[in-house]
Structure 1
């Protein structure tokens, strides 16, 4: 039986990734152990893992995660207040498939989409 999923995304610089997710997006460390070249973070019921990929070309990174939320307007507003750049092609809007969504790009160009059923 599957009980959870922890997507693994590439990162070029652990300190930059940690700062972005903890200070900009409000995640916290998922472990007190500091693994070299690896980062685990969490927020609410979501956990993300990152592996070091120093030679990653962000223009060729297609890492993506879709976050389902129950309060998308609050999430969106909190990011705006923290001056988190919203993807220019993906502001908060209702999509043809019935989801209200917006998206961000992290420092390594991983696409983070946030959605809520309408």
Structure 2
């Protein structure tokens, strides 16, 4: 039986990635060991892992994660208050597939999409 998933995304610079996820998005470091080429962060029930890929060309990065959220409007406002740049094509809106979503790009152009299921009408 499957119980969880922990996406692994590329990062060019561990300190930059760690600062972005911790300071901007509210994640915290996971675990006490510090591996120079690996980073694990968590927030609520979400865990993201990153592997060092210094040669990564962000323009060619197709890393993507879809994260389900409760109270998406509150979370979106918190990110705006923290001056997190929302993807210009990913502003918060209701989608025809029954989700309220928005997206952002991290420092390495990993696409993070956050979504909450819309109530049925």
- The SS at the match of 1:21 is helix
CA shift digits 1:18-74 (9 cap, x unpaired): 000000000001111101200000000000000000000000000000010111001
Question: Matched residues in 2 for 1:86 and 1:31: separation?
Answer: 29
Aligned to 2:54: 54
Aligned to 1:112: 112
Q: Does 1:76 align with 2:81?
A: no
- The SS at the match of 2:107 is coil
Question: Matched residues in 2 for 1:35 and 1:2: separation?
Answer: 27
Aligned to 2:92: 92
Question: Matched residues in 2 for 1:74 and 1:30: separation?
Answer: 24
The number of aligned residues is 118
Equivalences for residues 5-44 of structure 1 within 5 A: 5-44=5-44
RMSD after superposition: 0.5
- The SS at the match of 2:97 is coil
> 5+ unaligned residues in a row in structure 2: which ranges?
none
Question: Matched residues in 2 for 1:96 and 1:2: separation?
Answer: 29
TM-score, length of structure 2 as denominator length: 0.96
Question: Matched residues in 2 for 1:107 and 1:84: separation?
Answer: 11
Aligned to 2:45: 45
Question: Matched residues in 2 for 1:78 and 1:27: separation?
Answer: 13
